Amino acid sequence: MLIEAENLSKTYTLRKKTGRLKRERTTVEAVRDLNLSVAEGELLGYIGPNGAGKSTSIKMFTGILSPSGGSLRVAGLEPIRERKQLARQIGVVFGQRTTLWWDLPLRDSFALLHRMYAIPDERYAENLKRYVDLLGLDDLLDTPVRQLSLGQRMRGDLTAALLHDPSILYLDEPTIGLDVTSKAVVREFLAELNRERGTTIVLTTHDLDDIERLCRRVVVIDHGTVAYDGRLAALRARIATDRTLIVDLARPAAPVEVPNATVTRVDGPRQWLAFPADANAAELIAAVASRYEVLDVSIRETDIEDVIRELYSS
């Protein structure tokens, strides 16, 4: 196991002013009894609502934060005690901030990392060429990071995180703010990295397209602990969310009454009908059309977003 967390927890103590001089101590359990094992070569979706404890747990995995309880081993190391050895095993990419040096050209940032991670010269040259070719950074190497577009910067950050051949790559919102093309480039690159090099990837994102396209296993974190851990397909099946039929009637009407469906929303002539995922949509449309004058219909399939929302609220 590359990441092995047992009953991992992290509590913060906050002091809040309650009076002129009085201060109240409150403890916040950001992570509690988190159990997780990640095997080599996995591409794991690590998701959850804001403030659920995702970042806190990742900060513990990377050796930035010390756990308050439980045990944790990453790549066979104890993150805090063996932080420097661990650092050579991991790569980190944040979508919202860069790990590169703002006013240095990409080339110089990479050169600094070459020494920082003590990467052997040959391997460095090989990796640099590989990622520069793969991510199309050739013409950008002499551009200072501050002049790069978000998509270009992200490609630079990905390269920076991989030059030392980390066995684990943590990605925090790697596609945030990117346009469709750049998103596709990043996703394709990650899939290939995982497939070809066997790099274990832990992906945190709010973009569920990322998860759908990349991850077979999903871990949902909520209230500081694991709320779901399993395959994406099983997650979707576990919460049998209805499909939705959207009908545009010729004129506004009272909620449509048909078997096997219930109206969830009415907006003028448009109505939303929820129906079970395994029911026959054609029959339902026929039933509606036989009783009302229908101008248009469309069906919305359950997407992962609904599933997650359902899971969070339960």
Partner 1 sequence: MTLIVYALVVRQTFRRFLTYRAAILGAVLANTVFGAVKAFIVTAVWRQRSVIGGYDLPDILTYTFVAQALIGPMSLLTNNLDIPARVRSGDIGTDLFRPVDFQGYWLSVDLGRAAFALLGRSLVPFAVGALLFRLRVPADPRVWAAFAVALTLGVLVSFSVRYLAAMSAFWLLDEKGVTGFVNMMTTFLGGLTVPLILFPGWLGEVARALPWASVVLVPVNVFLGKLSGAALAGAYAFEAAWAVALLALGRLVTARARQRVVVQGG
* Binding region for partner 1 (CB under 8 A): 12, 50-56, 59, 62-66, 83-85, 87-88, 90, 92, 94, 97, 99, 101, 103-104, 108, 111-112, 115-118, 144
Residue 162 Cβ vs partner 1, minimum distance, rounded to whole Å: 15
Structure tokens that stand for 210 in this block: 């990322």
The CA distance from 77 to 138, in Å, is 36
Residue 207 Cβ vs partner 1, minimum distance, rounded to whole Å: 17
Cβ contacts of 131 within 8 Å, gap of 6 or more: 137, 158, 159, 162, 163
The CA distance from 151 to 157, in Å, is 10
Written as one string, the DSSP assignment of 165-231 is --SEEEEESTTTT--HHHHHHHHHHHHHIIIII--EEEEE-S-HHHHHHH-SEEEEEETTEEEEEEE
Map residue 131 onto helix, strand or coil.
Answer: helix
Compare residues 109 and 175 and give the one whose CB is closer to partner 1: 109
Residue 91 Cβ vs partner 1, minimum distance, rounded to whole Å: 10
The CA distance from 122 to 174, in Å, is 28
Compare residues 81 and 231 and give the one whose CB is closer to partner 1: 81
Task: Give me the half-sphere count of Cα atoms (radius 13 Å) on the Cβ side of residue 41.
Answer: 4
Q: Cβ distance 243 to 71 under 8 Å?
A: no
How many CB atoms neighbour CB 33 within 10 A? 15
Residue 280 Cβ vs partner 1, minimum distance, rounded to whole Å: 43
Compare residues 27 and 280 and give the one whose CB is closer to partner 1: 27
Compare residues 112 and 234 and give the one whose CB is closer to partner 1: 112
Residue 98 dihedral angles phi and psi, to the nearest 5°: -100, 150
Compare residues 108 and 303 and give the one whose CB is closer to partner 1: 108
Compare residues 158 and 232 and give the one whose CB is closer to partner 1: 158
Residue 30 Cβ vs partner 1, minimum distance, rounded to whole Å: 8
Residue 202 Cβ vs partner 1, minimum distance, rounded to whole Å: 14
Compare residues 206 and 213 and give the one whose CB is closer to partner 1: 206
Residue 59 Cβ vs partner 1, minimum distance, rounded to whole Å: 6
